[in-house]
Copies of this chain bind each other. A is one copy, B any other.
C-alpha cells in the first residue's frame, strides 16, 4: 500500500453489517471502486463471530420488525433458493413468561404490534409447555432456591416459528463472496483504521483548518498502513464507532457491553438430549431458542454439536463501555457458575450435571432506542447500532445504507416492503423505542 491512495468508497469493518453494505453498494454502484477493510485477519471475526447467531422477527417496534422480517426471509432465500448453506434452522424462539409478565402492558403491546405487522406467533399455556418440554420446571412451590433467586414461574410461552439459528461465518461469506465477484478492489485485512480525515471543503491551505465557518467533509481514513482517501467512508465498526466518530464531533450514540456465551454438550445426558429434541415446536423436531423468565438467561440449540449455547442479557451490574477493550473478549467462568447456572438449572434441572466445555465473549453495541443507526452525513455513511441483533438486520441495513448513498428516498427491502431511507438517521429518525431486547 502506498502512503496515500484514493478509492471511491472505503468500508471500515467486515463484520456482517460491513459485508452486507459493501455488497449492496457494489451491486447498485457497479462503477465505484469499493475497498473493504478490517482490523482482523478475516471477515466476520470480531463480534459477528461472538454472537449467539440466532435470528428473529419478533420485535416490538415496527421498524425492527420490518428490518428483521425482511432479513430473515432473505437468509431463508439464500439457503433455500440460492443454495448457499448457512446452517439456518427454523427452530423458533420461545419466550417463557410468568402470568404477570405475559399480562404486562409491554408484552401485550408487543403482541398487538406483531399482529399488525403480520409477524406470526403462538401462545402456549403452562400445560402445553409441560407436555412439549418435559424437562422444564414450571412450578417452584416450596423451592427456597427459586425464591432466593427471585425466579418467576412459567405460565406462558410466546413462540415465533419464523425465527431460527444459523452460522454467522457462512452468512458473512455469502456477502463477501458475492461482493468479491463484483468488486475490482481486493478486500484488505489486518488494517487498523486509526482516525477519520476531516477537511475543509474547499481547502484554503491555511494553518489550523478546518475553521468553524468552513464546510467540512470526511475525505478518508488514516490507517496503520497509510492514508486512504475516499469520496465516501462507510463505518460498520459496531462497538468501536466512538473511537472514530467522536473525535470529529459526530456522536455515534452507541455504547457497548460485554456479553458471554458458554457451550454445554448434551451427548451423554438423556435429560439434555430430550430438551434438544423437543417435539412440536418446529418441523425439525428440535428445541427452539429459549429465553427464561428471569435474570436474562437464554440458550440456543446447536444441533451439529448436540449441545447448547447459553447466554445472559445482564442489565444492571454489567458495565457499559465507551469502546470495547480486549478484556471484553474474555469469558468469566465464575459468571456462568454463580450467575447463570443456578437460574438455568432451576428451570431446566437437566443442566445441573454438566459444565461448559467452551466459552467466548464479545461486545454488544447499543443504540439509545435499540434501533439501528444508518445515516450519511458529511462524507461518512454510518451503519451501526444494531443493538445485539446485527445478523438479523444486516440485509435491511445494507440496503438502506446503499439507498442513502444513492440518494434514494425509499429503500425496497427483501420481499418487496419499502421503508423511507431516512427512517434510521439521527436527523429524521422516526422509530418506536424497541422494548424486546435480549
Chain A residues within 8 Å of B, Cβ to Cβ: 148-151, 198, 204, 206, 208, 210-216, 242, 245-251, 253, 255, 257, 294-297, 312, 314-322, 334-335, 338-340, 342-343, 366, 368, 378, 429, 433
Contact = CB atoms under 8 A, between A and B. Distances in A.
Contacts of A340: 212
Given A295-B213, A338-B211, A253 B319 contact: no
Chain A at the B interface: mostly helix, strand, loop or mixed? loop
8 nearest A-B pairs in the assembled complex, by CB-CB distance = A212-B339, A149-B213, A246-B320, A213-B295, A211-B339, A322-B322, A249-B318, A368-B368
Nearest to A377: B316
A157 B208 CA distance: 32
B249 A320 contact: yes
A249 B253 contact: no
A316 B366 contact: no
Contacts of A208: 334, 338
A368 B253 contact: yes
Contact of A247 (B253, B319, B342): B319
A98 to B, nearest CB: 14
A428 to B, nearest CB: 10
B213 A151 contact: yes
A248 B319 contact: yes
The copy count of this chain in the complex is 2
Contacts of A338: 206, 208, 211
B251 A320 contact: yes
Contacts of A368: 251, 253, 368
A5 B21 CA distance: 55
B246 A213 contact: no
Contact of A150 (B150, B204, B214, B319): B214
B253 A257 contact: no
A148 B209 CA distance: 13
B343 A212 contact: yes
B215 A295 contact: no
A44 to B, nearest CB: 27
Contact of A255 (B149, B150, B251, B316): B251
Given A317-B198, A317-B210, A338-B208, A215 B150 contact: yes
A436 to B, nearest CB: 14
B214 A246 contact: no
Contact of A257 (B204, B249, B334, B342): B249
A151 to B, nearest CB: 7
Nearest to A314: B212
B216 A342 contact: no
A53 B383 CA distance: 38
Contacts of A204: 148
A317 B213 contact: no
A316 B216 contact: yes
A148 B253 CA distance: 33
Given A212-B312, A212-B343, 6 more contacts: A149-B214, A150-B213, A213-B342, A246-B319, A249-B257, A368-B368
